[in-house]
Structure 1
Amino acid sequence: MISYRWCDELAVGDRDEVLALVRRAADFDAEAGFSAVDPRDVDTLSSDAQRVWHLPIKARRDLSARDDAPWVVVAYLRLVVGVDGLGSVQFVVDPDYRSRGIATLLVEELGLDTMSGDGWAGTGARVLRVWSYGSHPAAERLTTRFGVPAVRRQWTLLRHLSGPWAEPLDPVTTEATLSEPVAATAIGAEMTELLAAATVPRRHRDSLSRADDSGLAITASLSGEPAGYVRFDPALHEHEELRAAWLGALVVSDRASGRGLGSALLVRALVALRDAGAQVALMRIDPDDERVMRMCRLLSFEQDEAHACYQVEDLRRETENDLCKTLTHANLGGSVL
Structure 2
Amino acid sequence: MSAPENPDWMIETVKGVPEDDVMRRVRALAADAEDSDGNPPLSEQTLVELGTGDDPDAVLGAYAYLSEGEGRESGELVGVGVAVQPRSAGGTGTLELVVHPDYRNDGIGTALLGVLGAQTDLQRLNAWSHGNHDAAARLAERHGFAPVRELWRMRLVHTGEVPASALPEGVSIRAFVPGVDEDAWLAANAEAFAGHAEQGAMTRADLDARMREDWFDPTGFLLAVDARDRILGFHWTKVHPAVASRTTGEHHALGEVYVVGVVPEARGTGLGRALTLAGIAHLRSLGLEAVMLYVDADNTAAVRLYRELGFTRWDVDVMYAAGAAAG
TM-score band w.r.t. shorter chain: 0.7 to 0.9
Asked if 1 retains the 8 angstrom alpha-carbon contact of 2:65 and 2:74, the reply is no
Could you say what secondary structure the match of 1:77 adopts? strand
| Unpaired stretches in structure 1, ≥5 consecutive residues | 113-119, 317-337
Find the partner of 1:96 among 94, 97, 102: 102
Structure 1 203/143 Cα, relative in aligned 2: closer, same or farther at 3 Å?
same
Q: Is residue 150 from structure 1 mapped to residue 144 from structure 2 by the alignment?
A: no
Separation in 2, partners of 1:37, 1:255: 31
Higher helix share: 2
Separation in 1, partners of 2:200, 2:118: 29
Structure 1 45/59 Cα, relative in aligned 2: closer, same or farther at 3 Å?
same
TM-score, normalised with respect to structure 1: 0.71
The amino acid that maps onto 1:265 is: L
Identity %: 21
Matches within 5 A, 1:65-214: 73-82=77-86, 84=89, 86-107=92-113, 110=114, 120-123=117-120, 126-162=123-159, 167-177=160-170, 179-185=172-178, 186-192=180-186, 194-195=188-189, 198=192, 200-203=194-197, 206-208=200-202, 210=204, 212=207, 213=211, 214=216
User: Alpha carbon RMSD of aligned pairs, Å?
Assistant: 3.8
Could you say what secondary structure the match of 1:6 adopts? strand
Separation in 2, partners of 1:304, 1:192: 30
Q: Which residue of 2 aligns with 1:285?
A: 295
Separation in 1, partners of 2:125, 2:283: 37
Q: Which residue of 2 aligns with 1:296?
A: 306
Q: Which residue of 2 aligns with 1:256?
A: 266
Q: Deviations over 1:31-76 (max 9, x none)?
A: 702313777766665847x3432322245467x7x9x985754322
Could you say what secondary structure the match of 2:161 adopts? coil
Separation in 1, partners of 2:293, 2:186: 21
Separation in 1, partners of 2:255, 2:271: 22
Structure 1 91/183 Cα, relative in aligned 2: closer, same or farther at 3 Å?
same
Separation in 1, partners of 2:65, 2:314: 35
Could you say what secondary structure the match of 1:78 adopts? strand
Structure 1 227/184 Cα, relative in aligned 2: closer, same or farther at 3 Å?
closer
Structure 1 32/196 Cα, relative in aligned 2: closer, same or farther at 3 Å?
closer
Q: Deviations over 1:278-301 (max 9, x none)?
A: 221222111101111111111111
Asked if 2 retains the 8 angstrom alpha-carbon contact of 1:177 and 1:220, the reply is no
How many pairs are equivalent? 296
Asked if 1 retains the 8 angstrom alpha-carbon contact of 2:33 and 2:100, the reply is no
Asked if 2 retains the 8 angstrom alpha-carbon contact of 1:243 and 1:277, the reply is no
TM-score, normalised with respect to structure 2: 0.72
Q: Which residue of 1 aligns with 2:221?
A: 217
| Unpaired stretches in structure 2, ≥5 consecutive residues | 1-5, 244-249
